[in-house]
């Protein structure tokens, strides 16, 4: 196994009109030996491009890629000791499952007995029967094909596994099942794995650490819980978590000794959210009085209650979505739509005014211009 | 009721069309079994079938009309046609597939412009190229040789175009998976791409063989000796020397088209499939 290190990695593509467009803008990232790192972000953020540069499928236009101690920028894919699992499986349709898994080993002129041993071991790990090994990919389901693609990677015993959105083509149920299998595989093989996905649920449930990307930059790299509870900026805050964090634009006002957040004015006619800050939070953001800021609060930190250890406020119900074990209540304030997560089944009618309580210890404040978090250090 | 009447007339029309298309072949087949005395008769079926007409054409029996063996080597021409068409087909498939791979799966500067240029050569009529090609064969001392008949036809812009269309429809992720597996371009080409474009290759084999088997002008220009002649050229001299013996000419003609008919009947499904797939994947 090996560490993978990216130093000031850049990827550009030429434009038809001349000049270049930069997709990956000088990122630095270290994936430790044996680590499962997930790269997550919206479409076009550069995560797949970065993965493909690590694989050697894309030319590097700046910076360096290290696998172990070796710079691999000019090393062809077959010599980097990596294996890749593709979104569309990329199983050779004219070969049997056995041959698909054995192909890479045959090209490396491994003895037949060794090839057979590795293929059958991988098949056992992945629950592929002997009969399945003789089938062609078209005779397999999506989940089985993805297992074969995993098997093709496993038999190579590579230093690094690369996954390029491998579960995107599966249905929701199969995706959950395969997620667990991949995590189990990582625990069993203890190998370095780099996993790319646009699904933040996959990222949160699978990764040791997550690198959140946007517009070619890495926004934050941290373990899932840290990303969730201490997002570095508004993008990370809004991207991680489902439903996403409520981000309310407003300003700070000093009302006596208390620094108070006041939502920006709107046109709905509903009352503006007004929330006094905790003392420790106020100490950090006192220089922002009168300036534009954003207050972030997760849906589970807004409760429907007329009592409790938080700040009370009222809002009108827009819609409510019963999910069974909980209800998502969409609320209309003066200029925002917020989401509150309430336990159990709650029935509300549109425009019904309800009382809510916010746990301000869980709130976040973001700079209105830079969108950076001002209170991340308080959440340790 | 109206629909059934329409269907009836449609079928009648199609039957008339089919009969009109098949009738010359049926007459040719029937005449090839007739004795010389019955040739002028319009009947499709001979009164006294004479299958030994075929043996006469192949110089296995003397001609009943003249009492002599034929002075022409039809069997040799047959062999030449099959041999030359076979070689040209094999070479065309090989060169077209390799060129199509380079044009569709390898990125290199000017690739698309070069391909358009190559494709542009299809606009030039073959007869226009005949003289310069002949000059080149003279310089290479390949006139009146098998190589002179085979080599100029070994490269086909159409074949490259056809195979490129098929290869263009194959996902690039197979290439990427193969490169990561450790394949070189040649291994990727042989082990992954070629098996996936088999329908296209079959189409090219059929079209190339049929086209080259019937090639007339180039063998006419290139070949001086009788033993190198192909069937289309040979039939010309057959017609000149024994043209009045229509029954022998029909026997020779039917034998010459037999491989094509058999090839088409056997490969019809793949040919249609190949043309359709090529169209969809394009």
- Record: contact B176-A152, CB cut-off 8 A: no
What is the count of residue pairs from A and B with beta carbons less than 8 Å apart? 53
Mutation site, B105, B169, B182, interface A, largest A CB count within 10 A: B182
Structural domain that includes position A275: 246-379
- Record: contact A84-B176, CB cut-off 8 A: yes
Give B183→chain A minimum CA distance, Å: 6
Domains in chain B: ranges and CATH: 2-57 (no CATH), 74-281 (1.10.3720.10)
- CB within 8 Å of B166: residues ≥ 6 apart: B100, B197, B199, B200, B277, B278, B281
Q: What is the pLDDT of residue B151?
A: 93
B109 touches chain A (CB under 8 A): no
Give B189→chain A minimum CA distance, Å: 13
Burial class (CB in 10 A: 0-12, 13-18, 19+), A340: buried
B155 touches chain A (CB under 8 A): no
Burial class (CB in 10 A: 0-12, 13-18, 19+), A243: middle
In angstroms, how far is the first alpha carbon of chain B from the final one?
A: 43
| Residue ending a domain, choose from A197, A212, A239 | A239
Give A90→chain B minimum CA distance, Å: 5
- Record: contact B171-A88, CB cut-off 8 A: yes
B112 touches chain A (CB under 8 A): no
Q: What is the CATH number of the domain that holds A22?
A: 3.40.50.300
Q: pLDDT tens digit string along A258-284?
A: 899 999 998 888 888 999 998 888 989
Are residues A223 and A329 located together in one domain of the fold? no
| Residue ending a domain, choose from A239, A256, A271 | A239
Give me the DSSP letters along B198-251: HHHHHHHHHHHHHHHHT--HHHHHH--SGGG--HHHHHHHHHHHHTT-HHHHHH
A347 touches chain B (CB under 8 A): no
Q: Which residues of B touch A83 (CB under 8 A)?
A: 180
Are residues A76 and A196 located together in one domain of the fold? yes
A119 touches chain B (CB under 8 A): no
Q: What is the pLDDT of residue A113?
A: 97
- Record: contact B180-A104, CB cut-off 8 A: yes
Domain total of chain A: 2
Are residues A189 and A277 located together in one domain of the fold? no
CB atoms within 10 A of CB A116: 14
- Record: contact B191-A103, CB cut-off 8 A: yes
Burial class (CB in 10 A: 0-12, 13-18, 19+), B202: middle
Q: pLDDT tens digit string along A30-39?
A: 999 999 999 9
Are residues A268 and A172 located together in one domain of the fold? no
Instruction: Report whether pLDDT(A380) > 80.
Output: no
Q: What is the CATH number of the domain that holds A332?
A: 2.40.50.140
Give B89→chain A minimum CA distance, Å: 25
Residue A192 backbone class (left: φ over 0; alpha: ψ -120 to 50; beta: rest): beta
Which chain B residue shows the shortest CA-CA distance from A103? Answer: B181
Which chain A residue shows the shortest CA-CA distance from B173? Answer: A90
CB atoms within 10 A of CB B145: 16
Which chain B residue shows the shortest CA-CA distance from A82? Answer: B180
Q: What is the mean pLDDT of residues A347-375?
A: 90
Query: Is residue A312 within 8 Å of residue A356, measured between CB atoms?
Result: yes
Q: Which residues of A touch B177 (CB under 8 A)?
A: 84, 86, 90-92, 152
Q: Grade residue A117 by pLDDT with cuts at 50, 70 and 90.
A: very high
Are residues A270 and A234 located together in one domain of the fold? no
Which chain A residue shows the shortest CA-CA distance from B182? Answer: A78
Instruction: Report whether pLDDT(A256) > 60.
Output: yes
Are residues A216 and A308 located together in one domain of the fold? no
B 57-96: CB under 8 A from A? none
B48 touches chain A (CB under 8 A): no
Which chain B residue shows the shortest CA-CA distance from A55? Answer: B180
Are residues A188 and A209 located together in one domain of the fold? yes
Bridging pattern class, strands A274-276 and A258-263? antiparallel
Low-confidence ranges of chain B (pLDDT < 70): 271, 273-282
Alpha helices in chain B (DSSP H): 2-32, 52-57, 74-105, 111-120, 126-139, 146-150, 157-168, 172-181, 185-188, 194-196, 198-213, 217-222, 231-242, 246-281
Are residues A314 and A223 located together in one domain of the fold? no
Q: What is the pLDDT of residue B48?
A: 84
Q: Among A88, A104, A107, whose Cβ lies nearest the Cβ of B173?
A: A88
Are residues A365 and A345 located together in one domain of the fold? yes
| Residue ending a domain, choose from A239, A260, A282 | A239
Which chain B residue shows the shortest CA-CA distance from A95? Answer: B192
Are residues A292 and A356 located together in one domain of the fold? yes
Which chain A residue shows the shortest CA-CA distance from B197? Answer: A94
* ipTM metric: 0.85
Distances (CA, A) of B100 to A209, B110, B184: 45, 15, 17
Q: Which residues of B touch A78 (CB under 8 A)?
A: 179-183
Q: What is the mean pLDDT of residues A299-308?
A: 81
Q: Among B179, B192, B196, whose Cβ lies nearest the Cβ of A78?
A: B179
Number of helical (H) and strand (E) elements in chain A, helices listed first: 10, 20
Residue A152 backbone class (left: φ over 0; alpha: ψ -120 to 50; beta: rest): alpha
Q: Among B180, B187, B196, whose Cβ lies nearest the Cβ of A84?
A: B180
Q: pLDDT tens digit string along A37-94?
A: 999 999 999 999 999 999 999 999 999 999 999 999 999 999 999 999 999 899 999 9
Q: Which residues of B touch A94 (CB under 8 A)?
A: 195-196
Q: Grade residue A293 by pLDDT with cuts at 50, 70 and 90.
A: very high
Q: What is the pLDDT of residue B281?
A: 37
- Record: contact A104-B182, CB cut-off 8 A: yes
Are residues A267 and A315 located together in one domain of the fold? yes
Token readout for B204 is: 């090219």
Are residues A67 and A150 located together in one domain of the fold? yes
B190 touches chain A (CB under 8 A): no
Which chain B residue shows the shortest CA-CA distance from A57? Answer: B176
What is the distance between the alpha carbons of residues B30 and B32, in angstroms, rounded to a whole number?
5
Which chain A residue shows the shortest CA-CA distance from B186? Answer: A107
Mutation site, A14, A72, A86, interface B, largest B CB count within 10 A: A86
């Amino acid at each position: 196994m090996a560490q993978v290190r990216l130093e000031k990695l850049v990827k550009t593509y030429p434009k038809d009109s001349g000049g270049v467009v930069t997709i990956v803008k000088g990122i630095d990232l270290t994936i430790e030996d044996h680590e499962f790192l997930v790269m997550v972000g919206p479409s076009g953020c550069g995560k797949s491009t970065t993965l493909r540069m690590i694989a050697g499928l894309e030319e590097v236009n700046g910076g360096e890629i290290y696998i172990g101690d070796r710079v691999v920028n000019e090393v062809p894919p077959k010599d980097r000791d990596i294996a890749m699992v593709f979104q569309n499986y990329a199983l050779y349709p004219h070969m049997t499952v056995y041959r698909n898994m054995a192909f890479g080993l045959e090209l490396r002129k491994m003895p037949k007995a060794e090839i057979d041993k590795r293929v059958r071991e991988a098949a056992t790990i992945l629950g592929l029967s002997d009969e399945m090994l003789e089938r062609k990919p078209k005779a397999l389901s999506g989940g089985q094909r993805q297992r074969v693609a995993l098997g093709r990677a496993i038999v190579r015993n590579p230093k690094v596994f690369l996954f390029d959105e491998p579960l995107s083509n599966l249905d929701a149920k199969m995706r959950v099942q395969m997620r667990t299998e991949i995590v189990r595989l990582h625990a069993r093989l203890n190998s370095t794995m780099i996993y790319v996905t646009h699904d933040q649920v996959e990222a949160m449930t699978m990764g040791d650490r997550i690198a959140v990307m946007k517009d070619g930059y890495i926004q934050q790299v941290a373990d899932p819980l840290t990303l969730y509870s201490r997002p570095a900026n508004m993008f990370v805050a809004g991207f991680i978590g489902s439903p996403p964090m409520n981000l309310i634009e407003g300003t700070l006002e000093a009302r006596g000794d208390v620094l108070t957040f006041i939502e920006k004015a709107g046109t709905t006619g509903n009352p503006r959210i007004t929330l006094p800050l905790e003392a420790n939070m106020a100490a950090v953001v006192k220089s922002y009085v009168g300036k534009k800021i954003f207050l972030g609060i997760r849906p589970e930190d807004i409760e429907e209650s007329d009592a409790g250890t938080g700040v009370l406020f009222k809002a009108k119900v827009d819609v409510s979505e019963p999910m069974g074990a909980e209800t998502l209540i969409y609320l209309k304030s003066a200029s925002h739509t917020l989401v509150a997560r309430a336990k159990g089944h709650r029935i509300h009618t549109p425009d019904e005014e309800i009382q809510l309580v916010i746990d301000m210890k869980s709130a976040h404040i973001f700079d209105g211009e830079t969108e950076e978090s001002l209170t991340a250090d308080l959440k340790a | 009721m109206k629909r059934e009447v329409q269907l009836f007339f449609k079928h009648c029309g199609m039957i008339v069309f089919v009969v009109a298309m098949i009738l010359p072949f049926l007459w040719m087949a029937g005449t090839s079994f007739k004795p010389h005395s019955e040739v002028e008769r319009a009947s499709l079926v001979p009164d006294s079938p004479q299958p030994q007409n075929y043996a006469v054409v192949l110089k296995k029996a003397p001609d009943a009309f003249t009492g002599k063996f034929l002075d022409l080597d039809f069997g040799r021409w047959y062999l030449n046609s099959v041999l030359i068409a076979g070689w040209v087909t094999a070479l065309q498939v090989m060169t077209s597939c390799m060129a199509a791979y380079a044009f569709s799966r390898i990125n290199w500067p000017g690739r698309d412009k070069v391909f358009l240029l190559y494709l542009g050569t299809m606009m030039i009529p073959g007869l226009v190229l005949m003289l310069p090609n002949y000059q080149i064969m003279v310089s290479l001392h390949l006139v009146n040789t098998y190589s002179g008949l085979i080599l100029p036809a070994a490269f086909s812009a159409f074949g490259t175009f056809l195979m490129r269309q098929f290869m263009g429809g194959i996902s690039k992720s197979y290439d990427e998976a193969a490169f990561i597996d450790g394949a070189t371009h040649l291994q990727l080409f042989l082990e992954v791409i070629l098996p996936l474009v088999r329908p296209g290759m079959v189409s090219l084999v059929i079209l190339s063989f049929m086209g080259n088997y019937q090639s007339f002008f180039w063998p006419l220009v290139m070949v001086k000796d009788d033993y190198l002649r192909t069937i289309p050229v040979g039939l010309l001299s057959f017609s000149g020397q024994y043209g009045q013996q229509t029954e022998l000419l029909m026997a020779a003609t039917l034998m010459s088209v037999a491989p094509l008919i058999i090839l088409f009947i056997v490969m019809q499904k793949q040919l249609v499939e190949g043309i359709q797939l090529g169209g969809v994947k394009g």
